[in-house]
Amino acid sequence: MKVIVGLGNPGRGYEMTRHNIGFLVLDELVRRSGGAFRRNWWVPAQTANGVIGQEKVRLVKPQTFMNRSGLAVGSALRKAHGKTDDLLVIFDDVALGWGQLRIRAQGSAGGHNGVQSVMNVLGSGAFGRIRIGIGPKPDSVSLSNHVLGSFSEAETQNLENVVRRAADAVEQVCTAGIEQAMNCFNRG
């Protein structure tokens, strides 16, 4: 079973912020499958089970705050009897331009506190990841205000396309493998 995690912060105040783009991608995947997220009492997360292609998947939205995402991810992976190579994490990245995708089979945290938390709990960075560009912070804004800020009007106009494309990338990882998805989505 593949465990697919979208990183974000719980609570209504964070729903439409750049830091929660991982949650939005998982919402799109659940919408496509006709499933629903439920509070999981064994894992500090909302989870949904589904199938992508022939692959059974567990979709996970941690209900810890971003900096403690590893607690939920570690619990979810153990509950699914998974290994780190069964894990795919989706998250925002300020180093990429708005809407750009980068898929990797493993890597560093790249300064992302949520990913660092996952790596700390798992003791490894050997898990798949899909980074979604939210663009660099403007000079006049702190990093935390940028990532926790609402999408701009221009971003909102293209947000649905970005989320759909990222969900397509997740499906490609599950059906054709991460290398194929990298070849397809890491361009441009």
Residue by residue, pLDDT tens for the chain (188 residues) are 899 999 999 999 999 999 999 999 999 999 998 889 999 888 999 999 999 989 899 999 999 999 999 999 999 999 999 999 999 999 999 999 999 999 999 999 999 999 999 999 999 999 999 999 999 999 999 999 999 999 999 999 999 999 999 999 999 999 999 999 999 999 75
Name 92's bridge partners. Answer: 132
81 is a catalytic site residue: no
**Structural domain spans, the chain:** 2-185
Predicted confidence at residue 187, as pLDDT, reads: 77
Distance from C-alpha of 68 to C-alpha of 2, rounded to nearest angstrom = 21
Predicted confidence at residue 9, as pLDDT, reads: 97
CATH of domain 2-185: 3.40.50.1470
Name 3's bridge partners. Answer: 58, 87
pTM for the whole thing? 0.96
Predicted confidence at residue 34, as pLDDT, reads: 83
Instruction: Identify which of 108, 158, 165, 155 has the alpha carbon closest to the alpha carbon of residue 135.
Output: 155
Distance from C-alpha of 74 to C-alpha of 118, rounded to nearest angstrom = 7
Helical spans, DSSP H, in the chain: 21-33, 69-79, 113-122, 143-147, 153-176, 178-185
- Spot the catalytic one: 19, 81, 112, 146: 19
How far does Cα 175 stand from its chain's mean position? 18
Distance from C-alpha of 157 to C-alpha of 180, rounded to nearest angstrom = 29
Predicted confidence at residue 188, as pLDDT, reads: 58
Predicted confidence at residue 152, as pLDDT, reads: 94
